[in-house]
Chain A
Amino acid sequence: MSGISPMIGAGIASGVQVVAVGVGGPMLVGAMRKVRCRLEGRVGPPILQPLVDIRKLFRKQRLRPDQATWIFPLAPVALVATVAVAAVITPLATTRPALGSGSDLFVLVYLLLVGSTLLALAGLDAGTAFGGMGSSRAVTIGALAEPALLVTILALSATAHSSNLPAIVRATLGDPGSVATPQRLFALGSLLIVIVAESGRLPVDNPATHLELTMVHEAMILEYAGPDLALVTVGEAMRLTLLLGVFVNLVAPWGVATTTHVSAIAIGLGALGAKVAVVGVVLAVFEVSMAKVRLFRIPELLAGAFVLALLGVVSGLVVR
């Protein structure tokens, strides 16, 4: 299949990445739920249950609060669209995705921020107390996670002398020992905490809570029904999968395709799926073993992540 031009190959690779994240996302959520259930001694719903839920949601009625504006229906669409664009440009299955030259960790962070900000606005759009509460807490947590996130990017970009994601992954592939440096390990630790905070998983936020006063993310989407809710669910699952995919490719990129040949992409996809599944299972075990952190202790957690990231940068300078 070396007859395909690299551009078409990259396009196919990116398309495959989007579909993988779009379908694999809910499956990852299902798998994490299954692991938690098994550790509780239950059987739990099947792994494909989130996909069945989403299919059912598309068959339901669409509702819209009377005071809401066009932001309310736009927010879920923007969430899914921006995560899909991020899946196109991020090196998940291959280090040569379409538009990979402009694929930057910084761009990735801000693309995901578009979806979060619009969702926060939609929470306020409904005109209820819960929406405002969810938005307020979500943007505060996002604001406190930013320093850790950007300093982590600074630490991770040091090896490749660039924040271009494919370049960093290729540099790690070329120099596997660079993962074991304290710089990289601190940065990845900080990144994992930030991913947990940004995706709204335990211990920062409990996605299955029923008590509105303990909700952060769920409170923003209390008004969504039917297809809009399906898009929000898919978007959140895609975001988690994307972030974990970036994380595994920064920790252990082996298996990632470095060309756009179909066979290489298939192997890359398989490797990605396996690695993300492993990280997902580890996260699920953590979620079972700890309680949700109190809302006003979350800044301390994120400050800890920031200190880890700063340690990563500093150790990079010392070890140099």
Chain B
Amino acid sequence: MPKMSLVNWRARRVTESPAAKPTSPNGPAELVGSVQLRHVDAGSCNGCELEIVSAFGPVYDAERFGARLVASPRHADAILVTGPVTRNMAVPLLKTLEATPEPRVVIAVGDCARNCGVFRGGYGVVGAVGEVVPVDVSIPGCPPDPTAIIEALRSVTRR
């Protein structure tokens, strides 16, 4: 018998109210209202991952704007890339992008994904995400605030 006492019956909504809708849309028109995201860690320190988890958590709740994380790139519309592209992850990143059906969008999260951040010139780093795959949306920050991530996602879903 499940512990019904663990269910928060008086679950108070902890989610923050949404900000204004972003005015500059990104991405193709087919993805309005629904974007499935597949996250690829190309070599990050996991700081951006924590912010992404927080963005999909109860406080910021990215799901209410139509975004959802999925497991397979075949189910995805957008690849969420974090970290600089390391040598070992260059080919897997390319293969992940190839496995995603069109129309698709690449979202680079964090300074490392945009311009290698603090890892510029490292021996294991190939380059920024933009040097390996074409990037459509990039989110600055080290790590970016969950509100910035949400704003970028909302610009794709236009919700």
Contacts and interface: CB of A to CB of B under 8 A. Distances in A.
B101 A56 contact: no
B33 A42 contact: no
Contacts of A38: 11, 13
B147 to A, nearest CB: 15
Contact of A56 (B14, B31, B63): B31
Contacts of B11: 38-41
B74 A63 contact: yes
Interface centre among B2, B68, B70 (most CB of A within 10 A): B2
Given A59-B30, A222-B71, A225-B74, A289 B2 contact: yes
A42 B58 contact: yes
B20 interface: no
A222 B102 contact: no
Contacts of B63: 37, 42, 44-45
B64 A61 contact: no
A236 interface: no
A286 B2 contact: yes
Contact of B7 (A44, A60, A226, A285): A285
B69 interface: yes
B111 to A, nearest CB: 26
Contacts of A216: none
Contacts of B57: 42
A161 interface: no
Interface in B1-55: 2-4, 6-9, 11-15, 30-31, 33-34, 36
A163 to B, nearest CB: 32
B36 A53 contact: yes
A43 B31 contact: no
Interface centre among A42, A62, A223 (most CB of B within 10 A): A42
Interface residues of A, number: 37
A209 interface: yes
Given A41-B58, A56-B30, A222-B71, A288 B64 contact: no
A56 B77 contact: yes
B37 to A, nearest CB: 11
B124 to A, nearest CB: 26
A289 B7 contact: yes
Interface in B59-88: 61, 63-64, 66, 68-72, 74-75, 77
Contacts of A176: none
Given A45-B66, A209-B71, A225-B74, A60 B101 contact: yes
A40 B6 CA distance: 11
Contacts of B3: 289
Contacts of A290: 2
A63 B66 CA distance: 23
Contacts of A46: 64
Nearest to A61: B101
A30 B28 CA distance: 25
A191 interface: no
Nearest to B39: A210
A42 to B, nearest CB: 5
Interface of B: 2-4, 6-9, 11-15, 30-31, 33-34, 36, 57-58, 61, 63-64, 66, 68-72, 74-75, 77, 99, 101-103
10 contacts: A39-B8, A42-B64, A43-B64, A44-B64, A52-B34, A56-B33, A61-B102, A62-B101, A223-B72, A288-B7
